[in-house]
Amino acid sequence: MTSKFKDLMAQLNDEEVTVTAPNGSALAKQVTLKDKKKLSDRYNFNQGWYDALLNTDAVLNEATEGEVFRLDPKEKRQIVEIGVYEGASTCFWSDFYLDHPESRLISIDPFTGSFEHHENPENYPELGCIEYTARGNVAKSDNAAKVEIIKGFSWFVFQELVLRNDTDRWIDVLYIDGAHDSASVARDVALFCPMVKPGGLVIFDDYAHPDVQRAVDMTLNAFATAQKAMFTGWQLAVKF
């Protein structure tokens, strides 16, 4: 049976939780999500979803088996993220992984919210203001000038991005955190994963959710060649 999204998300709400690598293997250094909370100190966020991304970052940086996925903060890269909401993950990428002068981030969102937000609107009173909040947050981030927010659904923005880029593969890091129903995830995988360079990294948010997992597992191999994958506790990191 499909678990309720809200119940699964509740697992992430404990700020004191200690980050552990998959299978409980040791991290080089003890990390708690609280240590990494600087994002919420600085910005205006109503949801704590970026905990999952901070957790993945800590696991990839501190676990021995995370080595192959690690990102050098100084390297030049093109990042694309699907799903901005109030810009938490956007600010994460801007603050931690866009330092190279030529690095860029494209962030895509129609700012409508997704099915799961519309289903329980009482849990998302901020929904009507997310674009305003996101743009304000991103403007405060370390590399705001390197971030382009494109307002639209990923499958429509895809067309524009194909026209802009004459090479097939131009994305170094892809973060998929848009709508979480199976059909939407499958569509994002099918359209965007073929644009990731060999050696690139894709992170799937909410991979622990059965709908997301089903869509990723069914589509990834059909549209891309994944070399290595690592489940980080909630998300899946895949090296192409």
Ligand X SMILES: C[S@@+](CC[C@H](N)C(=O)[O-])C[C@H]1O[C@@H](n2cnc3c(N)ncnc32)[C@H](O)[C@@H]1O
The secondary structure of 83-96 as a DSSP string is: --TTTHHHHHHHHH
Q: Which is nearer to ligand X, 65 or 181 (CB)?
A: 181
Give me the residues that bind ligand X (CB under 6 A), please. 47, 49-50, 82-86, 88-89, 108-114, 130, 153-154, 177-179, 184
Give one word for 77, left, alpha or beta, with left for phi > 0 and alpha for psi -120 to 50.
Answer: beta
Smallest gap, in angstroms, from Cβ of residue 26 to ligand X? 28
Residue closer to ligand X, measured from CB, 32 or 40: 40
Q: CB nearer to ligand X: give 88 or 173.
A: 88
Rounded CA-CA distance 34/15 in Å is 5
Query: Residue 25: what residue type?
Result: S
- Minimum distance between the CB of residue 25 and ligand X, rounded to whole angstroms? 26
CB of 90 to ligand X, least distance (A): 7
Extended strands (E) in the chain:
78-82, 104-109, 147-151, 171-176, 196-204, 228-231, 236-239
- Residue closer to ligand X by CB (options 64, 115) is 115
For residue 7, count CB atoms less than 10 angstroms from its CB and return exposed for 0-12, middle for 13-18, buried for 19 or more: exposed
Q: How far is the CB of 229 from ligand X (least distance, A)?
A: 20
Minimum CB–partner distance for residue 144 and ligand X (Å)? 16
Tokens of 209: 């959710």
